[in-house]
Chains A and B, each alone.
Chain A
């Protein structure tokens, strides 16, 4: 869906909801359920919990819809609100994760052609993100969620871009230290292209 069309639809639905038409909120949920569930998933890596947290974010959005001042786009407001909800939820009940030092390092280069081993090694790196200290974890999560867009990640977190860049660099440094052989393992794959960007998150 083109971003402009989504923005227009969001605006129309918000106006209808504010006019008292509860059913109009369904359009918002329909359009944003995927991004919000995926964002929540990256925060906790637990599917059931991700859906619960995304639902809570929608409910907060419903309650606070009148508070959207339309200075930023609806998606920016929604993502910022969702990030707040996820952060609070995870402070109350932290995601089950292990310390960064205890995250298993991926298997050696000998198994690089083994699809299962590769998947496991990638999962280990993704889980290691959850083991990062909170101040580095969130920039890493949101940077990759926003398809490596620092500006979008900083808007979601409500932090200056410079701060996000610094924290992101530190987060990646910690990951590199934890997985020193990552580059050798993934080198054959680096020649291939990165996955295409998701339109909905632009």
Chain B
């Protein structure tokens, strides 16, 4: 017992019980079964590292497109805020901008689709599909 633990008599009872645990002996096949799993693991081919070099142009392109989209969204938001008048009803402005979100929705659908097609082609070439 460490001197700084300051055990009470109740603690001594608990210590007596919990410290006197019988030792379990692993079953006879434990060592063999564990080594079998280790050997299986060792014989498996190492996982293919992610092709960062090949993916780099795509990542750069995606970042550029996202950045451009963000920039355009902020710019559009700022210009529409400037055009919005809180004094007069602005029905005309609303009508003009009604179709703008549709373009963004279409872009949001096309980008994942292209990404999915691209990843399928990559996986197909690697023999994973």
Docked-complex contact A190 and B26, CB < 8 angstroms:
no
Docked-complex contact B2 and A42, CB < 8 angstroms:
no
In the complex with contacts A42-B21, A125-B17, A144-B19, A190-B12 CB distance below 8 A: yes
CA distance A47 to B39 in the complex (A): 24
In the complex with contacts A34-B23, A149-B2, A55-B18 CB distance below 8 A: no
Chain A residues whose C-beta falls within 8 Å of the C-beta of B96 in the assembled complex? none
Docked-complex contact A194 and B35, CB < 8 angstroms:
no
Name the segment of A2-10, A56-64, A88-96, A108-116 touching the other chain: A56-64
Q: Which secondary structure characterizes the binding site on chain B?
A: helix
Docked-complex contact A33 and B42, CB < 8 angstroms:
no
Chain A residues whose C-beta falls within 8 Å of the C-beta of B34 in the assembled complex? 29, 33, 55, 58-59
Chain B residues whose C-beta falls within 8 Å of the C-beta of A144 in the assembled complex? 15, 18-19, 21
B36: nearest residue on chain A (CB-CB)? Answer: A55
Chain B residues whose C-beta falls within 8 Å of the C-beta of A22 in the assembled complex? 38-39, 42
Residue in B10, B16, B23, B24 whose beta carbon sits within 8 Å of that of A176 in the complex: B10
Interface residue range, chain B: 20 to 34
The answer, yes or no, to whether A54 is at the interface (CB within 8 Å) is yes
Chain A residues whose C-beta falls within 8 Å of the C-beta of B25 in the assembled complex? 34
Residue in B5, B23, B26 whose beta carbon sits within 8 Å of that of A165 in the complex: B5
CA distance A150 to B4 in the complex (A): 10
Residue in B13, B21, B39 whose beta carbon sits within 8 Å of that of A183 in the complex: B13
Docked-complex contact B37 and A125, CB < 8 angstroms:
no
Docked-complex contact A33 and B21, CB < 8 angstroms:
no
Q: How many residues of A contact B (CB 8 A)?
A: 44
In the complex with contacts A148-B15, A176-B10, A194-B19, A26-B31 CB distance below 8 A: yes
- 22 A–B contact pairs at CB < 8 A? A25-B35, A26-B35, A29-B38, A33-B26, A34-B25, A37-B24, A37-B26, A38-B24, A42-B21, A55-B30, A55-B34, A58-B38, A62-B38, A62-B41, A62-B42, A148-B2, A148-B15, A150-B5, A172-B11, A182-B13, A182-B17, A186-B17
Docked-complex contact A47 and B24, CB < 8 angstroms:
yes
The answer, yes or no, to whether B27 is at the interface (CB within 8 Å) is yes
Docked-complex contact B30 and A37, CB < 8 angstroms:
yes
Shortest beta-carbon contacts, A-B, top 6: A144-B18, A186-B13, A37-B26, A22-B42, A182-B13, A33-B26
B12: nearest residue on chain A (CB-CB)? Answer: A190
The answer, yes or no, to whether A189 is at the interface (CB within 8 Å) is yes
Chain A residues whose C-beta falls within 8 Å of the C-beta of B30 in the assembled complex? 33, 37, 51, 54-55
The answer, yes or no, to whether B55 is at the interface (CB within 8 Å) is no
Residue in B4, B13, B18, B35 whose beta carbon sits within 8 Å of that of A126 in the complex: B18
CA distance A148 to B15 in the complex (A): 8
